[in-house]
Structure 1
Amino acid sequence: MRDGQARVMTVCGPIPADALGPALTHEHIVTDFIGAEKAPGPRYERERAVEEILPHLQALRQRGVTALFECTPRYIGRDVPLLRRLSEASGLHIVTNTGYYGAVGNRYLPAHAHEESEEQLAARWLEEWTRGIEGTDIRPGFIKLGTDRGPLPPLHAKLLRAAARVHLRTGLTICAHTGDGAAALDQLRILESAGVSPEAFVWVHAQNGTDAERIEVARRGGWISLDGYNLGPGQPERYLQAILALKTAGQWRRVLVSHDDGWAVEGETLRGAALKPFGNGNPRPYFSVFQRLLPDLRTAGCSPEELDQLLRENPARAFAIRVRAL
């Protein structure tokens, strides 16, 4: 690849951003909600996990999707050897992350996140970028944070400032699970004050805000991730309205869509735990966008070129890294 070429860092190494292809930008493979630092490692057999999950990734590949952004952070079950194994077996580009998740009352933050400075936290995340994650050579392709409703408490603001330091060194996009629109605007303020362009910020779970808030963040350059798409009562209509409102406002090029589907570790034992799909109202993982959302958008007048931009061009631009040291 040429120096200066925009790239995306996958679990199998960097690829040109324009080779990413159609992508789902907020999904999970396996998550473990036991709590920070309670489990020493995966509480399941990796080969069993591959057997259960791989057919769904192969089906996704058959639907034309070529990339999946895996948003499970450290201390909630991030398992990068499993991700690489599934990427190689399925042919999907899978992208993992660095960063910490402070939402849900800080349950998934390790003790040192409370005590360390933003410089120390940034150094931990930079270590994963420069040396690899947890003893592997797998590097993160974005930064994942989690905050509750706004305005942000000091601890969550510190996580944002640490992420800003990492972004300015690496070019990694900052994706922040966000409780509401007030939190999103606060995140954008903190990042801008640290010298981060809004174009490096993804408002994760932007469905939790209002049309006015989403349009404001998009107009300022942030990415609007409507990423909990599901077939629950009234949900397809809700997402369709939100996406069309952004389109009417001229912000189609700032929109990302996904399901937030995946599997969760079930049970509290440390050996042989089962995996249970969490579909958020979806009967099949990673399917509802194609089953319902895209047909609804076509019916609403969206062109094939616009749908291609939604799934192909927008993700590539949102997660492109433009640094020479890849």
Structure 2
Amino acid sequence: MSDFAGDDASTPANPMVNTVLGPVPAAELGVTAVHEALLSVVPGAEYAPDITMDRAEIFEILAGKLRDFAEAGGGTVVDSTGMFHGRDLPLYEALSRSTGVHIVASTGMGPEEMLGGYFLTPQTNPPTPWPAEKFADLFSREVAEGMVIPRLERRAAAGLVATAADRAGITPTEESLFQGAARTALATGIPVSVRFGSDAVRELELVLAEGLQADRVVVGGLDRKDSAGTAVEIARRGAYAAIDHVGLNDDGSYLDDSERAALVLELVAAGCADRILLSSNSIGAAFGQPDYDLPYGHVLTSFLPFLLTQGLTEADARLITAENPQRLLSVR
């Protein structure tokens, strides 16, 4: 497997990736699911009297799903939920040790409607949204000093800074989130994952305006129907285009898998195979929201075989599922 030396002037010869068990060589990640959720807890659900969260039971559920992923050929799962949706670092560490699957956890937050009240409370007079530099400091500390377990300690370094905007249009607070995420990436070397709101290209430009190189950014949700025509443009600008709801075939706002396959092949034909990422946005255990019990290995067991029948080469399949994620996640 390539160690990516020479692929990009800023890529180190032996790149490392931040996982919950510490840095590991990028070449060891294997096939990577780049946008999944281990736990997804709507903020506040952990206090609801009608919701039971048994950590031992959650461990067994998630361990089973990760072992299935490994048996399907998977090596790494990226938990891209950010700071406030159930991230449980000791649990993730135990899962990684038990299953052998690498887990990359993330810092970041968004969209605005999912932020805690503290981050929506104006800190200035007259009132203004949280500035980008405060978000950047918050997220960067989770890389440099370890991710927070509230009021207890810090653990492993975050491997990704993830944020999202409102589909109705990016808000001023979300603009600060995007800018703060970009500044975190510049300061720490980890990549940025953004879920666009209403205008993927404009919101990518908001991140790039901070001075971040496009190949340090992944734009997610490009299999939404309202993003038609933008995936190739995003990829040609040098950012990674994530088709990350693979397996979602009953939501009219998204492409189905047949249409997703056509989009992948369109990107390949446009010369952008090295900028494609695939994932399923699966949720291992959900609390306060409906389950989305799609296997982490769905891309490998169902979607990729279909793509191969449609003309995708084995080399491009390897590039998309392993080499692209490894290059993106490398700290540089």
TM over 0.5: yes
Q: Is the 8 A contact 2:170 2:197 kept in 1?
A: no
CA deviation after TM superposition for structure 1 residue 313, in Å? 0.5
Q: Is the 8 A contact 1:7 1:17 kept in 2?
A: yes
Tell me what 2:259 maps to.
238
CA deviation after TM superposition for structure 1 residue 122, in Å? 1.4
CA deviation after TM superposition for structure 1 residue 7, in Å? 1.2
Distance 1:86 1:289 in 2: 21
What amino acid maps onto 1:127 in structure 2?
A: R
Report the 3-state secondary structure (helix = DSSP H, G, I; strand = E; otherwise coil) of the residue aligned with 2:18: strand
TM-score by length of 1: 0.86
Q: 1:178 to 1:35 in 2, by over 3 A?
A: farther
Report the 3-state secondary structure (helix = DSSP H, G, I; strand = E; otherwise coil) of the residue aligned with 1:237: helix
What amino acid maps onto 2:188 in structure 1?
A: T
Distance 2:214 2:78 in 1: 20
Tell me what 2:179 maps to.
161
Distance 2:28 2:107 in 1: 23
Distance 1:43 1:172 in 2: 35
Report the 3-state secondary structure (helix = DSSP H, G, I; strand = E; otherwise coil) of the residue aligned with 1:207: coil
Tell me what 1:126 maps to.
140
1:321 aligns with 2:327: no
1:290 aligns with 2:300: yes
The structure 2 residue matched to 1:108, chosen from 110, 114, 117, is 114
The structure 1 residue matched to 2:277, chosen from 253, 256, 260, is 256
Tell me what 2:245 maps to.
228
Report the 3-state secondary structure (helix = DSSP H, G, I; strand = E; otherwise coil) of the residue aligned with 2:223: helix
Aligned runs of 1:189-228 on 2, under 5 Å?
Answer: 189-208=205-224, 209-228=226-245
Tell me what 2:320 maps to.
310
1:170 aligns with 2:188: yes
Q: Is the 8 A contact 1:236 1:292 kept in 2?
A: no
Q: 1:38 to 1:78 in 2, by over 3 A?
A: same
CA deviation after TM superposition for structure 1 residue 264, in Å? 4.2
CA deviation after TM superposition for structure 1 residue 144, in Å? 0.7
Distance 2:188 2:52 in 1: 32
Distance 2:110 2:89 in 1: 17
Q: Percent identity?
A: 27
CA deviation after TM superposition for structure 1 residue 26, in Å? 0.8
What amino acid maps onto 2:230 in structure 1?
A: E
Distance 1:165 1:319 in 2: 16
What amino acid maps onto 1:128 in structure 2?
A: E
Larger displacement relative to structure 2 (139-148 or 121-130): 121-130
Tell me what 1:271 maps to.
none
CA deviation after TM superposition for structure 1 residue 247, in Å? 0.9
CA deviation after TM superposition for structure 1 residue 4, in Å? 6.4
What amino acid maps onto 1:221 in structure 2?
A: G
Distance 1:87 1:17 in 2: 16
TM-score by length of 2: 0.85
Larger displacement relative to structure 2 (112-121 or 219-228): 112-121
CA deviation after TM superposition for structure 1 residue 150, in Å? 6.5
Q: Is the 8 A contact 2:75 2:101 kept in 1?
A: yes
Report the 3-state secondary structure (helix = DSSP H, G, I; strand = E; otherwise coil) of the residue aligned with 1:206: coil
1:13 aligns with 2:34: no
Q: 1:303 to 1:97 in 2, by over 3 A?
A: same
Distance 1:231 1:112 in 2: 34
Gap runs ≥5 in structure 2 = 1-11, 123-129
Distance 1:38 1:166 in 2: 31
Cα displacement string for residues 241-276 of structure 1 (whole angstroms, at most 9, x for unaligned residues): 111111111111100001111134446xxxxxxx97
What amino acid maps onto 1:227 in structure 2?
A: D
Distance 1:149 1:30 in 2: 23
Q: 1:12 to 1:165 in 2, by over 3 A?
A: same
Tell me what 1:270 maps to.
none
Q: Is the 8 A contact 1:211 1:242 kept in 2?
A: no
